Amino acid sequence: MAADHTRELIDQLFELDSRVRRELRALCGDIELTDAQIGVLWRLSSQEGGLTSRQLADRLQCDPSTVTSLVDRLERNGIVQRQAHPRDRRAKLLLLTPLGCRLHTRLETYCRDESPFAGLTAEQRGVLHRLLSHVQNDHEPGRR
């Protein structure tokens, strides 16, 4: 019977998470962003046209009041701006400023050239992506 590597996989995920967080903080070090703020920057950078606070809270899996606090700090640092929503007067869109876009470019360069995944081939990244997606989407608590 093959060895069950579940514990080792979880250990590796913790180590990988710590490494990526440490490296992303270093990339944004001159602005001293927290992990949570980098998470906001990451999610906004992949959303052309911005997100509402509610959409961002859903993606971060947190309370909207937490998003408000994070965005307030990012706005004070000139990374995010709030803009009137074109179709909903009650909502604001969260968008990256030019500084936020430059930080996004740093993150993209890191992903492509320096991240733990940069040394993998496109095929290997595809396999890993499919496996992680399977684990994440098909094995959530309560879905067994």
| Residue for token pair 């052309």 | 48
**The CATH number of the domain where 90 resides is what?**
1.10.10.10
Establish if 133 belongs to a structural domain: no
Whether the pLDDT of residue 140 is over 70: the answer is: no
Tens digits of residue pLDDT in 19-55? 999 999 898 877 888 899 998 988 887 667 788 888 8
Average pLDDT value for residue range 97-122:
92
Global pTM value: 0.78
Q: What pLDDT score was predicted for residue 50?
A: 84
Establish if 12 belongs to a structural domain: no
Establish if 52 belongs to a structural domain: yes
Whether the pLDDT of residue 143 is over 60: the answer is: no
Whether the pLDDT of residue 2 is over 70: the answer is: no
Alpha-carbon radius of gyration of the chain:
18
Establish if 9 belongs to a structural domain: no
Q: DSSP label at 93?
A: E
Domain that holds residue 100: 27-113
Establish if 41 belongs to a structural domain: yes
Tens digits of residue pLDDT in 65-90? 899 999 999 999 999 999 988 888 88
Of the chain, the percentage scoring pLDDT greater than 70 comes to 92
The strand order across the sheet containing 80-84 reads 51-52, 92-96, 80-84
Number of domains in the chain: 1
Establish if 46 belongs to a structural domain: yes
Query: Range with the lowest mean pLDDT among 1-10, 29-38, 102-111?
Result: 1-10
Whether the pLDDT of residue 3 is over 90: the answer is: no
Establish if 139 belongs to a structural domain: no
Question: 77-102 in b/e burial notation, b at 16+ Cβ within 10 A?
Answer: bebbbbeeeeeeeebbbbbbeeebee
